[in-house]
Structure 1
């Protein structure tokens, strides 16, 4: 009975559990569904979809400048609706600009950047449709940021789990009727549009009065947010750009089919990396509301170590049996043979990144944008140099090496900064 009572009264514990349930459903769902998509679309069709997914991930880099500071800003204020209104205009403006960019650059991306061969025209059309999905996907992150900042992770995860399931159900059923890449993109675009509208109405009917969107003070609030956070936001955006650098470079240098293998491998590695995100989403607002207090006021050292060990165990097994796991997962020898080495390297970088989660959360809380920016610039330079000397190998394993370089440099610089500050 005391355990149940403790769970009900501990917002941090409750939110962490909700975040992990959502992550397990969505992360596990992706792992289960990818083999079905490969079977329905084939290597060629999956390559087209992988290219579109990569473009979307690259553009969602723009959200990194807001998604990590919006929950912090909302958690620190007594008037979260004012922060919501200011970020609303930021999200809508960036979403619109990103959609216009995608539409106008679709031809160049399809014919000049990706090695799609005779499928370039098909890829171009898919990218234009992807602009619609990006518009609403990016705008929906405003709703997610508000719920995370007000520590309503139940709402966040309920919405994400439901719409994740809807997107993939619609896509799978549609692909069974017509297994073409464009069908996948259209299915996701339609459900994403509904997702944004539903979530926005949920928030504005229960938490926010829409009249505040055109309040005269919003412009002042917007300017203050930009002044306070522009260095930090830029540092985070650079960081997320660096995290996508492997995909950006490989997408240009390897053929679309082999790039599709790398996207599969990177997705599995990302699923392990996402094991840390629910914890960070709970720690950040809880820590921000504590002012200058230590992270140990939110999470004890013992619990921290236990979490690290639990997260590390499945990753270690994947490193040892990477090729076997890929084959069991996809039942495809081509994917297992070409992706095993890259998967092992990516998982090794995830192991390095696990303790960095707590370092990074503290850097966000301290608004240490300069340190994050410096770390990311050094990482980017190192990754460019690494890629320059190894690109001739025409192997996707270089992507895993770039992951390791990024994780190691970030951990070292962030850890040294916090140690020096603690003295």
Structure 2
């Protein structure tokens, strides 16, 4: 448990910092580049997500296998071969991404996007560099999965946080002193992405057990062994990417490019909340996998409910504050009252959907730990088939607000339907506990406190006083949510008892 606790804390520290680096400079980017060019940044994020389709399940398979083998002395010598085998696929795929985006740059600029201020030539050139930037950073997620499987989250987060800082803050120097253009922006992201991938690769190879690093070779048997599980991950990833990018694809095809910029701005805030979810998954998926492989069902059940309550506390608190104070947050961040008012409703919908999606993460980790992918594949496929016509209709009639509603509806259905189906097979009899004990108490407490704070503070001034009031409201909401969760409350009580015992 101490290692798990350290990994979770390291993940949260890293994700909080990366979230700050990802959003704090956005108003400056918009000021220097313009909202239309920032729409291309949103397109880059979509291409980055779409590029995960080419992962072919390798990252998730590597994570699971390293977690299962690293503590098995009879299997540690195979770890180097496992990594080397997947590497022979990773790098050619990265090259393929560059070529694919380059070939698509002209059609995207001339026939898909609707730029008004940027020329078609500038747009196409930016998309070409965008493809290089995505491809150079793409392999880093593979190596990050490896570090996560080894449960080396402190090292992983140090790397990610360092390069997030270099990427987010460093590009300002390029924009101010070299060239305030979208092309310069993309070139910087390409350079930082290449460095991040190389450093991540070196870290993974360095942290592998000594016996695994000597004479690592390609072994087709590793691909065959991982084939079925990786195939399920490919299907899940493909459908998930299409679901998460469906709204932006429809917006980019039907609305002006500037609307994609506004939607990307709202998504940046919601994605920042999503970073509060990922640390738990990254730390617990390898631990779930280990407990499943060892057959320790009682420990797995106990950890599952404790971790879900911890996640529910964080998700409920952050979501409640962003939904109640969303307009104030955007105004404090951008200083643009009109933009804040326009994005208040879309942001609330996106945050609610992201919160529900976050609550699905640990049940999903449990499914992957058991090697079960069929449920998620089926759920995503049904959601995509129903979501495409809904999204087209919603965007045509309600613009970006309609697009945001798709994310909420899909995840509401997942929580209501997929979780009961999962608990018919895994941890049977624990469904009621997941809904009533793990989720409801922190969610009700967070919603109550946040609404009360919103009533007491109808608007926040854009100054240090406003930031302080928001921080107090957020801290109070988080504390009340934590105290409402039974196992979290007991964990806090035990920790306080240990600290008090050390005092004179």
TM-score of the aligned structures, taking structure 2 as reference length: 0.77
- Contact 2:98-2:135 at 8 Å conserved across structures: yes
- Contact 2:51-2:97 at 8 Å conserved across structures: yes
Partner of 1:278: 279
**Distance 1:407-1:49 versus aligned 2 partners, 3 A rule:** same
| In structure 1, C-alpha distance between the alignment counterparts of 2:214 and 2:354, rounded to whole Å | 42
- What's the CA shift for 1:300? 6.2
What aligned pairs does 1:8-407 form with structure 2 within 5 A after superposition? 10-63=2-55, 65-77=57-69, 78=75, 79-117=78-116, 118-177=118-177, 178-205=179-206, 207=208, 209=213, 211-213=215-217, 215=218, 218-291=219-292, 292=295, 293=297, 296-297=300-301, 299=303, 301-302=305-306, 304-393=308-397, 395-407=399-411
Secondary structure of the residue aligned to 1:212 is coil
**Distance 1:180-1:20 versus aligned 2 partners, 3 A rule:** same
**Distance 1:339-1:164 versus aligned 2 partners, 3 A rule:** same
- Contact 2:136-2:197 at 8 Å conserved across structures: yes
**Distance 1:351-1:167 versus aligned 2 partners, 3 A rule:** closer
- What's the CA shift for 1:306? 4.3
Give 1 or 2 for the bigger CA radius of gyration: 2
Q: Deviations over 1:139-160 (max 9, x none)?
A: 1222211101111111111111
224-233 vs 162-171, which moves further: 224-233
- Contact 1:26-1:161 at 8 Å conserved across structures: yes
| In structure 1, C-alpha distance between the alignment counterparts of 2:304 and 2:40, rounded to whole Å | 46
Secondary structure of the residue aligned to 2:303 is coil
- What's the CA shift for 1:53? 2.9
Secondary structure of the residue aligned to 1:290 is helix
| In structure 2, C-alpha distance between the alignment counterparts of 1:15 and 1:420, rounded to whole Å | 31
Secondary structure of the residue aligned to 1:401 is helix
- What's the CA shift for 1:64? 7.4
RMSD: 2.1
Secondary structure of the residue aligned to 2:316 is helix
Secondary structure of the residue aligned to 1:275 is coil
Secondary structure of the residue aligned to 1:396 is helix
| In structure 1, C-alpha distance between the alignment counterparts of 2:95 and 2:375, rounded to whole Å | 30
What are structure 2's unaligned runs of at least 5 residues? 70-74, 430-504
- Contact 1:52-1:126 at 8 Å conserved across structures: no
| In structure 2, C-alpha distance between the alignment counterparts of 1:32 and 1:131, rounded to whole Å | 24
Q: What is the total number of aligned residue pairs between the two structures?
A: 412
| In structure 2, C-alpha distance between the alignment counterparts of 1:211 and 1:250, rounded to whole Å | 50
**Distance 1:67-1:237 versus aligned 2 partners, 3 A rule:** farther
| In structure 1, C-alpha distance between the alignment counterparts of 2:306 and 2:206, rounded to whole Å | 42
- Contact 1:379-1:405 at 8 Å conserved across structures: no
**Distance 1:333-1:61 versus aligned 2 partners, 3 A rule:** farther
Q: Deviations over 1:149-176 (max 9, x none)?
A: 1111111111111111112232110101
Q: Deviations over 1:34-89 (max 9, x none)?
A: 11211222223322332233222322343373333321121112332222122212
Q: Deviations over 1:260-281 (max 9, x none)?
A: 0100101111111221110011
- Shift >6 Å, 4+ stretches: none
Secondary structure of the residue aligned to 1:270 is helix
| In structure 1, C-alpha distance between the alignment counterparts of 2:339 and 2:37, rounded to whole Å | 15
TM-score of the aligned structures, taking structure 1 as reference length: 0.91
- Contact 1:232-1:372 at 8 Å conserved across structures: no
- Contact 2:14-2:160 at 8 Å conserved across structures: yes
268-277 vs 409-418, which moves further: 409-418
Secondary structure of the residue aligned to 1:115 is coil
| In structure 2, C-alpha distance between the alignment counterparts of 1:389 and 1:399, rounded to whole Å | 9
- What's the CA shift for 1:298? 6.1
173-182 vs 51-60, which moves further: 51-60
| In structure 2, C-alpha distance between the alignment counterparts of 1:412 and 1:87, rounded to whole Å | 37
**Distance 1:289-1:41 versus aligned 2 partners, 3 A rule:** same
Give the number of the structure with larger relative contact order, counting CA–CA contacts within 8 Å between residues 6 or more apart. 1
- Contact 1:360-1:414 at 8 Å conserved across structures: no
| In structure 2, C-alpha distance between the alignment counterparts of 1:406 and 1:28, rounded to whole Å | 28
- What's the CA shift for 1:302? 4.9
- Contact 1:144-1:156 at 8 Å conserved across structures: yes
65-74 vs 248-257, which moves further: 65-74
